[in-house]
Amino acid sequence: MKQDSLAKKTAERKRTKQYPDLQAIKNCLVVWCVNDNQEEYLKLLRKKLPQQVKLDKICFLPEGAPAASFRDVVYVKEEELGFGGKILNEQLPELLDKEYNLLVDLSEESNVMIDYILRNSLAQCKAGMKKENFDADLMIDNVGGISEFIDKLFTGTGVALVTPFNKESGIDEASLRKLIEYVIAGEANYLVALGTTSEAATLSETERYQVMELILEQNQGRLPVMVGIGGNNTREVVENIKRFPFLKFCKAILSVTPYYNKPSQEGMFRHFKTLSEESALPLFLYNVPGRTGVNLSSETVVRLSHECPNIIGIKEAGGNFQQVAEILKSMRSDFTVVSGDDGLTLPLISIGVKGVISVLANVFPAEFSKMVRLASLGNYTEAARIHLKCTGLYKALFAEGNPSGIKAALHAKGIIAHNVLRLPLTPVSERLYNELKDLCHSM
């Protein structure tokens, strides 16, 4: 039974050409963990790769792990990585200066190591694989693209999580945990924490940290997490990024365009360029002119994509098809564009957008994720059926503002215990609440 399943997976990968040209691979970098016995996988990798491939290895040594000695392995301690810390072994920068065609992750504990490699050797890592894909075949992604792995983390359906409140307007921990489990069970692809939908603007720093800790604790590494850190004071945003205590557990930062002070295109370019240079994590831009009062133009996005390798994508919520098309036409080849508008997601995928950061997927993660997957596979007929079923929700969820609508829907569906928002936001009217309740039941 297992062999049949693997055969089908392999056949599908071949059909969709999800293999690199193995003969084109010259150098391979393998990351593993001192706590794992990886000799079996290394032997298999050696058999699959052409004999002329140069294979380097880095061993990730988690804090508290016992020391070990292999001549061909560089050891790196977790606490030495990435966030301004000194790299323990002088060989590591030398290894990262090489041009690797393939990066292989054979460990189960090396996320920090992989993140460090990607931040410091982005242009050299052209393709990648993980241990769990060995039994099917060598490759999981197409060759090409300077942030192949991170790029793949943020395709499909991301869920812009709400922050449930209790009757006293405090954080409702039980409802937030329930929501996270519900979204994960619905096969969403990643979580977006502390975005607009989370009411982050009305959370204190202590509360933002509390929400973040709850999300990470409940998620337990099952889905990648993107965190919102933005503002209209560049220096302050840099400081907020640097002191954010959960960076090592996140995969990217979502940063909104500066609001209220309405900077020029050059001002926004310099703002995001500065953030990208100072951030230990890759950045996703967030363009939502309806909220910020300023539009990040396609020209500026394209310029940022080419001049700032640490900026890996954009959540585009401007509702302008022409602008999205111009970005897709001229952006860096591995740059990722996702929709920030649930109702436009299906048509935008048809022109090359890679998914959505969704509000609606809080309440219907399974249905919306399925629509995105079907559309991404080119099955627009089936995807359209789901899309058309959601049309009433697309309108009603935003009729009296976000997250007022989505909180009402989540409460009506019994996923969160209280329909509470913080001023200046208020719950939706009784009429709209009943409409949302009916729409949810009709789904």
Is 286 known to be catalytic? yes
Name the phi and psi angles at 300, rounded to 5.
-70, -40
Is 315 known to be catalytic? yes
Cβ atoms of residues 257 and 276 within 8 Å? no
Q: Kindly report the CA angle at 150 between 147 and 156, in degrees rounded to 5? A: 120
The catalytic residue among 126, 178, 273, 315 is 315
Cβ atoms of residues 196 and 228 within 8 Å? yes
CA–CA distance, 361 with 367 (Å, rounded to integer): 8
Kindly write down the DSSP assignment for every residue of 329-359, as one continuous string: HHS-TT-EEEES-GGGHHHHHTTT--EEEES
Other C-beta atoms within 10 Å of 67: how many? Answer: 7
Cβ atoms of residues 303 and 269 within 8 Å? yes
CA–CA distance, 103 with 127 (Å, rounded to integer): 6
Looking up tokens 């990798």 gives: 45
The catalytic residue among 251, 286, 354, 407 is 286
Residue 47 CA, chain-centre distance (Å), reads 33
| Cβ partners under 8 Å of residue 39, min gap 6 | none
| Cβ partners under 8 Å of residue 19, min gap 6 | 13, 137, 138, 139
- Residues with catalytic roles: 286, 315
